[in-house]
Amino acid sequence: MDDLLTALLRRDTDVFQDLPQRRRELSRDLIAASLFTDRHGEPGAADGLWFEPALFMTRPTVLRRLVGVLGLLIPTGIDRLVGTEPGSLAIVSGLALETGLPFVALREIDGAWHAHGELHPGERVMVIEDVTNTGARLLSAARALTGSGATVVEARSVIDNDRGARDALAAAGVVFEPLFDLQDLLAQHENGGAR
């Protein structure tokens, strides 16, 4: 019994499910909640299939599972979470509640990023996005954070649409780890991963 209580106090939820199992269940939730068909020519559309992030972010059961998984993946030593408006605010808010880490919202106005909330020079931050395509928006946000004196330790998105974000961010020296990439989710869908 002490091992269970100790694990719970450490917020180690692997005593119930390990991380790979939680990710598999989350991927099924994302597919069931937000995968659509017949949207040709849209960013992130592959063979007419696309994800609508507003649908998985507005379902409390999916959002709770999502922030639970993301919370386990936050690197040690992060001082603050950063979410870009409007897409990732639900995620970063839930993640702040899950982890106790403060967050700041970045809003882009006329091509410039404005921080809403406290952001201090020297802070180590993790940037969260819902879906990435080319990575241009995430890279722009990371540069603005660095320009304000913060250190971007890592950037994450829930889904990477495989449109160049990984390469663009790596070339700029930004560590980027999507939770899922589009091709993996679509392959799971084709193999009956949706509920």
Q: Which residue's entry shows tokens 């809403």?
A: 116
* pLDDT tens for each residue of 2-43: 566 666 676 655 556 677 788 888 888 887 777 765 554 454
CA–CA separation, 74 and 51 (whole Å): 24
**What's the whole-model pTM score?**
0.80
Q: Nearest 10 degrees: CA dihedral of 67, 70, 71, 76? A: -160
In single-letter form, the type of residue at position 68 comes to G
Q: Residue 2 has what pLDDT? A: 58
Name the percent of the chain lying above pLDDT 90.
Answer: 46
3-state secondary structure at position 48: coil
- 3-state helix, strand, coil split of the chain in percent (to 5) is 45, 25, 35
Confidence at residue 83, expressed as pLDDT on a 0 to 100 scale: 95
CB atoms inside a 10 Å sphere around CB 76: 6
Q: What are 62-89's pLDDT values in tens digits?
A: 889 899 999 999 999 999 999 998 878 9
